[in-house]
Amino acid sequence: MTTVQDQKTVEEFRKPTFPIDPLFINRWSPRSFLEKPVADELLFSLFEAARWAPSANNSQPWTFIVARSVEDQAKFHSFILEGNLAWCRKAPVLAMALSRKTENEKVYKFHAFDTGMACANLALQATAHGLITHFMAGIDAEKARQVLDIPAEYDIQGVIAIGYQGEKEALSEALQQREQPNGRKELSEVVFEGSLDQKVNFTK
Amino acid sequence: MTTVQDQKTVEEFRKPTFPIDPLFINRWSPRSFLEKPVADELLFSLFEAARWAPSANNSQPWTFIVARSVEDQAKFHSFILEGNLAWCRKAPVLAMALSRKTENEKVYKFHAFDTGMACANLALQATAHGLITHFMAGIDAEKARQVLDIPAEYDIQGVIAIGYQGEKEALSEALQQREQPNGRKELSEVVFEGSLDQKVNFTK
């Protein structure tokens, strides 16, 4: 069985240029979930980690709605797009990440950025617990807003599937082809020295 | 000396409700930096960690500009607001986080959220290395765009000060008052069950 602990699989696809905590490369987004529930305390610790993310003026614009019951998950399934629904039905937990766009009635520019920080914490704590996460942007956001009655002050950032990793073979043939950790751009494509036209000297 | 390793200080101000990896509560945003350079490999590993963050369709919209030389830092100082300039001049590294708003010439909705995830990775890897980070939203973004010649396709998410923690006493009296890890909203204020009007039962 391919699990998040299967270091060999991750190392085959991901070669960090500089040494980093294994959490960062071990966190990837599988689609094969076991139909195995996540214990409350384990699940809550993911949101606990999210909670300690930084935000401008400590405004903490993140808000989460979890769907664990059959009824709540059915609501979520009604607005998740078909491509994601094909695999995420097995995930024992779905969580919508919302960002509050206002702070003391003023526009809060960094709501999405800060909520992203909280979600990265969530995903890394999941990895530390041997859980997997998969962020889905592929939802009908307008329908989600209606179904869950989400006020206009919140922006919908996506839905996170949370659970235990299942066997690759449990997926459809097409999804099995995609069930592997993906790579990244080179560091030199995303980090610059002083200005965007100046390369960093990354030689060791 | 108060350092990031000073567990007692952090534990005094931060009491997680559910057990989490210590990295998350040990990461806070001091203002007192030592004038001590960060070795290249150590610094690059922070961006390496950022690089492995997830993003929708693996689009990786994050881009960083680092300022390490006196010349590059002077440029950054020209657009950082006075309140931050008062303490961040000592930081050996400043890094601007940019998010690319387009992907294949289409608007990319999640650029800020994804860049937030990359920045959380960066901050946590820094904590793992015994470094500190402090995100600054307080910059003159319009001036920054001019000074660094940043194309319109990028949104400026902020500047991150990176380095080693200095003594609290090296700060002005006013800043010494604020030099402590801050708290967070209760978990019940940010996580809901099924909809925003339904509380999660957090009792253990």
- Taking the CA of residue B157 and the nearest CA in chain A, the distance in Å comes to 7
Residue A2 has what pLDDT?
A: 37
In chain A, the residue whose alpha carbon lies closest to the alpha carbon of B26 is A52
Q: Which residues pair with B64 in a beta bridge?
A: A191, B97
Tell which wins on pLDDT, A172 or A12: A172
DSSP B63: E
Per-residue pLDDT of A125-144, as tens digits, reads: 999 999 999 999 999 999 99
Question: Looking at the partner chain, which of B14, B72, B194 has a beta carbon nearest the beta carbon of A194?
Answer: B72
Half-sphere exposure of A153 (CA within 13 A, CB side): 12
Interatomic CA distance for residues B199 and B195, integer angstroms: 8
* Tokens (6 digits) for B80: 């950082």
Residue B1 has what pLDDT?
A: 35
CA max distance for chain A: 55
Is the confidence at residue A7, as pLDDT, over 60?
no
Number of A/B CB contacts below 8 angstroms equals: 242
In chain B, the residue whose alpha carbon lies closest to the alpha carbon of A193 is B66
E-strand stretches of A79-190? 93-100, 102-103, 106-107, 132-136, 154-163
A20–B48 CB contact, under 8 Å: yes
B51–A25 CB contact, under 8 Å: no
Is the confidence at residue A119, as pLDDT, over 60?
yes
Residue B190 has what pLDDT?
A: 98
Q: Which of residues 47-86 of A touch B (CB under 8 A)?
A: 47-54, 56-58, 60, 62-69, 71-72, 75
Contact B194, B202 (CB under 8 A): no
Question: Looking at the partner chain, which of B21, B60, B185 has a beta carbon nearest the beta carbon of A190?
Answer: B60
Kindly report the pTM of this predicted structure: 0.96
Which residues 6+ apart lie within 8 Å of A6 measured at CB? none
Burial status of residue B2 (CB atoms within 10 A of its CB: 0-12, 13-18, 19 or more): middle
Burial status of residue A5 (CB atoms within 10 A of its CB: 0-12, 13-18, 19 or more): exposed
CA separation, residue A125 to residues A111, A131, A202, B100, B129 (Å): 21, 8, 30, 27, 18
Tell which wins on pLDDT, A121 or A103: A121
* Tokens (6 digits) for B198: 């339904």
Mean pLDDT (chain A) is: 94
Residue A117: other Cβ atoms inside 10 A: 28
Is the confidence at residue A6, as pLDDT, over 80?
no
Identify the helix (H) or strand (E) that includes residue B95. Answer: strand B93-100
Mutating which of B48, B197, B203 best tests the A interface, going by the most A Cβ atoms within 10 A?
B48
Question: Looking at the partner chain, which of A63, A110, A128 has a beta carbon nearest the beta carbon of B21?
Answer: A128
Per-residue pLDDT of A77-102, as tens digits, reads: 999 999 999 999 999 999 999 999 99
Residue B12 has what pLDDT?
A: 85
A116–B121 CB contact, under 8 Å: no
Pick the closest to residue A54 from B141, B182, B93 (CA basis): B182
Is the confidence at residue A204, as pLDDT, over 90?
no
* Tokens (6 digits) for A147: 């179904």
Q: Which residues pair with A192 in a beta bridge?
A: A199, B65
E-strand stretches of A81-148? 93-100, 102-103, 106-107, 132-136
Question: Looking at the partner chain, which of A99, A112, A184 has a beta carbon nearest the beta carbon of B51?
Answer: A184
Question: Looking at the partner chain, which of B52, B67, B137 has a beta carbon nearest the beta carbon of A56?
Answer: B137
Q: Which of residues 120-149 of A touch B (CB under 8 A)?
A: 120-121, 123-125, 128, 135, 137, 148-149
CA separation, residue B65 to residues A93, A123, B94, B167 (Å): 37, 26, 8, 28
Contact B173, B32 (CB under 8 A): no
Residue B104 has what pLDDT?
A: 82
- Taking the CA of residue B61 and the nearest CA in chain A, the distance in Å comes to 9
Residue A1 banded pLDDT, cuts 50, 70, 90: very low
Per-residue pLDDT of A33-59, as tens digits, reads: 999 999 999 999 999 999 999 999 999
With beta carbons under 8 A apart, name residues in chain B contacting A20.
45, 48-49, 52, 125
Residue A4 has what pLDDT?
A: 46
Per-residue pLDDT of B130-144, as tens digits, reads: 999 999 999 999 999
Residue A12 banded pLDDT, cuts 50, 70, 90: confident
Half-sphere exposure of B133 (CA within 13 A, CB side): 28
A17–B150 CB contact, under 8 Å: no
- Alpha carbon A103 to chain centroid, angstroms: 25
Contact B18, A43 (CB under 8 A): no
CA max distance for chain B: 55
Residue ranges in B40-198 assigned as alpha helix (H): 40-51, 70-77, 82-88, 111-128, 141-148, 173-178, 187-190
Q: What is the ipTM of this complex?
A: 0.96
A51–B135 CB contact, under 8 Å: no
With beta carbons under 8 A apart, name residues in chain A contacting B57.
137
Mutating which of B10, B13, B129, B191 best tests the A interface, going by the most A Cβ atoms within 10 A?
B191
Tell which wins on pLDDT, B1 or A121: A121
Domains of chain B: 7-190 (3.40.109.10)
* DSSP-derived 3-state class of residue B177: helix
CA separation, residue B149 to residues A204, B60, B141, B154 (Å): 29, 21, 11, 11
Per-residue pLDDT of A151-201, as tens digits, reads: 999 999 999 999 999 999 999 999 999 999 999 999 999 999 999 999 999
Mean of the pLDDT values across residues A6-28? 88
B148–A121 CB contact, under 8 Å: no
Tell which wins on pLDDT, A104 or B154: B154
A45 lies within 8 A of chain B by CB: yes
Residue B203 has what pLDDT?
A: 86
Residue A57: other Cβ atoms inside 10 A: 12
Low-confidence spans in chain B with pLDDT less than 50: 1-5
A24–B52 CB contact, under 8 Å: yes
With beta carbons under 8 A apart, name residues in chain B contacting A63.
190-192, 196
